[in-house]
Amino acid sequence: MIQLFTTEILDEKIRENFRRLLAFFRDDGWQKGNFKFMELTLASDVAVGYTATLEVTHRLGFVPKDVVTTSVVPSTETATWNYESFTRTTLSVTISAAVTVRAYVGRYGET
């Protein structure tokens, strides 16, 4: 979190506004995390009724614990994250067909 010199602000109202802003960002859940937005186009020769498990490089430098998926296209297909198989360099995802997945990948700061 950014450190501001609020005690050096002479105007009380401005100083109080900065304190409130800092408190807001400190308490915001997304600020406690370390997430990277990713858009992954995943393709595999998946026969109808079957699935394929793929490894995808993430370049985060740590083992992610959380994935917030924002969309899977086409919406008739699925992408399932295999958290127990995540490593410092790769994600594991099982897909039911070729899909594009948009997601925030990382970890929440308090976990």
∠ CA 96-45-84, nearest 5°, is 50
Q: Say if 94 falls within a structural domain.
A: yes
Considering 5-14, 26-35, 53-62, the range whose residues carry the highest mean pLDDT is 53-62
**DSSP E strands: which ranges in the chain?**
33-42, 52-57, 66-73, 79-81, 90-95, 99-108
Q: Say if 92 falls within a structural domain.
A: yes
Q: Say if 9 falls within a structural domain.
A: no
Q: What percent of the chain has pLDDT over 70?
A: 92
User: What average pLDDT does the segment 78-96 reach?
Assistant: 96
pTM exceeds 0.95, yes or no: no
Q: Based on the structure, what is the number of domains in the chain?
A: 1
Domain of 81 in residue numbering reads as: 33-108
Q: Say if 2 falls within a structural domain.
A: no
- Average of per-residue pLDDT values in the chain: 88
Q: Say if 46 falls within a structural domain.
A: yes
The sign of the torsion formed by the CA atoms of 6, 1, 70, 111 equals negative
Q: What's the helix, strand, coil split of the chain in %, to 5?
A: 25, 40, 40
Q: Say if 25 falls within a structural domain.
A: no
Q: At a CB cut-off of 8 Å and minimum separation 6, what does 74 contact?
A: 97, 99
Q: Say if 70 falls within a structural domain.
A: yes
User: What average pLDDT does the segment 5-13 reach?
Assistant: 87
Q: Say if 39 falls within a structural domain.
A: yes
